[in-house]
Structures are given as structure tokens and as C-alpha cells.
């Protein structure tokens, strides 16, 4: 009788232990991730909320719905687009090689290269040799590149000194300011892009790690998307001190431009990086624009043109160091339907020092979930904020 009782107690204890172990395993997101992916990476806590799942560590299958593989559909009106200098030829070739081998040899979208001066013969020959697709080489019209007449040289030089004291990178480099302004408000008006709607922005030296077997532009078109990103990071508040106040001024003049399904909660978030919000007036979390797959019709809309003109007149591209990344991100966050913004989480990507690395057999040389390469910058990742305040698609 006593022995039977002990046996029953032992069995109950074993069952309870098993139950607890199972519960512990399935309630621990880290072990779920490990179970699914076999990856050892554990993402540092960076704020935001991944809503219990980490999409970069779960097996990645690409976006849902009908996707068009190579040869399955006509190409749409799109180009791969690079602003680049002759002396960046080597880096451009390396980026092209990656994108051609993972995507473009299957789809043959044309490349359009832009420069503020003539491309060299060597640049043209060596880049064209990397692709079967057409390469176009375009010079930027002077009135799109030059510093506008209303910018005061002395004030700009003084401002550069102040920015340098605040350690704002590239603040003394005029061409960097010009590049940011062109990428914010000019590129889509280049005559060479007149009949083109979609672009994939590619910088020299970036890397692509995963096979992309569907036409990304047709995905955007079919699914009514405006903007695709891979990485979100926090900005340097010192580079954009008055960008948000000027934006609020603009919004007060055009309250109708605020989209009913906007991402204001994402922009206004003060919880995840309070010190940035305090300095800049908004969260500073933005789409990192060295990668963009997007619809130029948004940049060509009256509301965006009005916004860019307002900012351009305010002078912050030159008196501060407003980047095209925060300008694009704020415009999208306020004036576009947030459901039209898509995270291309299946596109493995690196622009030093950050990565987007999905967990997929289509990817190589990129550790799933990795965000930086030992530079201690993991806390700059703010993709989770986008998931928390907008959505995960």
C-alpha cells in the first residue's frame, strides 16, 4: 500500500517535471528561436517590441502572396540606381557583383548611374562588363546639385565649425550635404528617370547575401507598397537639431497632408531612446536609406514636393546636416499609409557597419540575426520600434 503510494507520488512528480520543462521551453522565445533556426545568436535588448517573435531568427520564406519568378512576367518600369563617383569604381563593381548574382541576372533590370561629373571611360566599361542588362550613365544637372542661392556661405562655414565641434560626421564636406539634398529632393526629377516609377538604390561597397528569386518591383506594385527598407537605426540628433520643429511647422500649414493611417506613434516614440527624443523632438529612428526599393510617384507627389521645398528653404541641408534618410522617413511616417511600407527581411544586406541577415537556406556568409560586426553598435538597431508601432510586414 505504502509502496504503491510512493510509486504514484514519484510518477506525479515526473509528470509535473516534464510539464514544467515543456512549459519553460515553449515560453522562452530564445529557445523557440534556437529550436527553429539552430542559430546561436541572441539579440541584445534594444527596446521596441518583437511581439514575442524574432523574424530574423525564424525561418524566412519571403513575402506571402503571388510572387513572379524569372521569366514569368514582363519587367515593370524600374531601375537599379546608384549615385557614385569615378573613384568608387571598385566598390561599385563589388556591389554590382553581389546584386547581379543574387537578383538581377534573373531579371535584367537596367542600371542607372548618376554622377555630378562625367563618368570615365573605365567606369563605364568596367561596370557594363558586370551585367547583361543595360547601363545608363547620367550627369546631374547643375541646378539639381549646386548649393541653392539662398544659402549664405559665411553662415554655412560657421555652422560647419559648430557641427564639427559636436562631432557630426562629414559636416565640413560640402559634397556630402549636396548628396543628401539630391537624394532627398532631386533624384526623381532627373530627366533620365522621367518614365520610370520604381528604383532600387545601391551604394558602392554594399553586400547582398541572399538569393532573391522573385521580381521585387512587381511585388511592390502588386501589393500596393510605396517603400521597402531593410534596416532601421537611430540618427545622430546633432545632425538634425531643427528638422522636427520645421516639420511641425510644415504640418501646421498642411494638416490635410497627414495620412489617416500614419506612423506618427513610431516617430513620436519617446520611450525607447528618450535622450534622442529630448534632443531632436522625435525618436530619430529611421529607414536607413542607402537601401531603398521605392515608388518615385510618392516623392513626385505634391505633398512630398511641398515638404521638401519647405525644408530646402529652411536651409538645414547646409546649416545642419539633414540626411535623406530622416527626411524620407519622416515624410513616409507622416504622409503615407504605414501599411504601404514593407520590410524586405528576406534580403540579406550589409552597408558597413550594419547587417540585415535572415535565417534562410537562400543566404550565405551572413549569420542569421546579426546586426553589427563586433563594433558594439547593436543598440542602434531600432527595427523593433517599427514592429511595435507600425507592423511586421
Catalytic positions: 292
Binder among 116, 189, 203, 337 for Mg ion (CB under 5 A): 203
**Cβ partners under 8 Å of residue 134, min gap 6:** 110, 111
x-or-dash pattern for ligand GTP, window 278-307, by CB under 6 A? ------------x-----------------
Nearer to Mg ion, 96 or 220 (CB): 96
Smallest gap, in angstroms, from Cβ of residue 325 to ligand GTP?
Answer: 8
Nearer to Mg ion, 160 or 325 (CB): 325
Binder among 115, 247, 272, 385 for ligand GTP (CB under 6 A): 115
Residue 83 contact partner, candidates ligand GTP, Mg ion, none, CB within 5 to 8 A by sort of partner = ligand GTP
Q: Measure CA of the first residue to CA of the last residue in the chain; give whole Å.
A: 61
The stretch among 79-87, 155-163, 212-220, 235-243 that binds ligand GTP (CB under 6 A) is 79-87
Asked if 204 touches ligand GTP (CB under 6 A), the answer is yes
Q: How many chain residues bind ligand GTP (CB under 6 A)?
A: 13
How distant, in Å, are the alpha carbons of 40, 59, 259, 313 from that of 34?
7, 11, 40, 51
Asked if 233 touches ligand GTP (CB under 6 A), the answer is no
Helix runs in the chain, H state only? 2-27, 29-37, 89-99, 105-107, 121-128, 142-145, 153-165, 174-185, 216-222, 243-253, 264-268, 274-280, 296-299, 302-314, 316-319, 324-335, 383-389
Smallest gap, in angstroms, from Cβ of residue 95 to Mg ion?
Answer: 10
Smallest gap, in angstroms, from Cβ of residue 294 to Mg ion?
Answer: 17
Residue 245's Cβ-count burial label (10 Å; 0-12, 13-18, 19+) is middle
Nearer to Mg ion, 203 or 221 (CB): 203
Nearer to ligand GTP, 85 or 279 (CB): 85
Dist CA 107 CA 149 (whole Å): 43
Asked if 81 touches ligand GTP (CB under 6 A), the answer is no
Smallest gap, in angstroms, from Cβ of residue 176 to ligand GTP?
Answer: 6
Q: How many CB atoms lie within 10 A of CB 278?
A: 10
One-character DSSP codes across 37-48: H-----PPP-SS
**Cα-flanking dihedrals φ and ψ of residue 230, to 5°?**
-120, -30
Nearer to ligand GTP, 203 or 213 (CB): 203
Binder among 80, 84, 168, 296 for ligand GTP (CB under 6 A): 84
Dist CA 218 CA 200 (whole Å): 12
The residues binding ligand GTP (CB under 6 A) are 82-85, 88, 115-116, 175-176, 179, 203-204, 290
Amino acid at each position: 500500500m505504502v509502496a504503491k503510494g510512493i510509486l504514484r507520488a514519484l510518477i506525479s512528480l515526473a509528470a509535473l517535471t516534464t510539464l514544467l520543462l515543456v512549459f519553460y521551453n515553449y515560453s522562452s522565445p530564445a529557445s523557440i528561436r534556437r529550436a527553429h533556426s539552430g542559430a546561436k545568436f541572441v539579440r541584445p535588448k534594444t527596446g521596441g517590441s518583437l511581439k514575442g517573435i524574432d523574424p530574423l531568427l525564424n525561418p524566412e520564406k519571403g513575402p506571402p502572396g503571388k510572387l513572379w519568378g524569372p521569366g514569368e512576367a514582363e519587367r515593370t518600369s524600374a531601375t537599379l540606381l546608384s549615385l557614385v563617383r569615378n573613384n568608387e569604381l571598385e566598390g561599385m563593381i563589388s556591389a554590382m557583383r553581389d546584386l547581379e548574382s543574387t537578383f538581377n541576372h534573373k531579371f535584367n533590370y537596367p542600371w542607372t548611374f548618376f554622377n555630378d561629373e562625367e563618368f570615365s571611360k573605365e567606369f563605364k566599361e568596367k561596370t557594363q562588363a558586370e551585367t547583361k542588362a543595360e547601363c545608363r550613365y547620367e550627369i546631374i544637372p547643375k541646378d539639381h546639385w549646386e548649393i541653392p542661392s539662398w544659402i549664405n556661405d559665411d553662415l554655412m562655414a560657421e555652422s560647419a565649425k559648430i557641427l564639427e565641434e559636436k562631432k557630426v560626421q562629414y559636416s565640413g564636406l560640402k559634397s556630402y550635404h549636396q548628396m543628401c539634398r539630391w537624394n532627398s529632393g532631386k533624384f526623381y526629377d532627373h530627366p533620365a528617370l522621367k518614365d520610370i516609377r520604381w528604383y532600387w538604390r545601391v551604394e558602392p561597397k554594399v553586400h547582398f547575401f541572399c538569393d532573391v528569386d522573385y521580381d521585387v518591383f512587381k511585388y511592390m506594385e502588386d501589393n500596393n507598397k510605396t517603400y521597402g527598407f531593410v534596416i532601421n537605426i537611430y540618427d545622430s540628433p546633432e545632425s538634425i537639431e531643427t528638422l522636427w520643429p520645421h516639420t511641425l511647422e510644415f504640418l501646421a500649414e498642411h494638416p490635410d497632408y497627414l495620412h489617416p493611417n500614419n506612423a506618427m506613434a513610431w516617430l513620436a516614440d519617446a520611450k525607447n531612446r528618450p535622450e534622442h527624443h529630448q534632443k531632436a523632438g522625435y525618436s530619430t529612428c529611421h529607414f536607413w536609406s542607402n537601401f531603398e526599393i521605392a515608388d518615385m510617384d510618392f516623392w513626385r507627389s505634391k505633398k512630398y514636393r511641398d515638404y521638401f521645398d519647405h525644408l530646402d528653404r529652411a536651409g538645414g541641408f547646409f546649416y545642419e546636416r539633414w540626411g535623406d534618410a530622416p527626411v524620407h522617413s519622416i515624410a513616409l511616417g507622416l504622409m503615407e499609409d504605414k501599411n504601404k511600407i514593407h520590410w524586405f527581411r528576406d534580403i540579406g544586406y550589409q552597408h558597413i557597419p550594419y547587417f540585415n541577415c535572415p535565417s534562410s537556406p537562400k543566404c550565405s556568409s551572413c549569420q542569421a540575426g546579426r546586426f553589427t560586426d563586433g563594433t558594439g553598435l547593436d543598440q542602434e538597431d531600432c527595427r523593433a520600434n517599427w514592429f511595435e508601432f507600425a507592423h511586421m510586414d
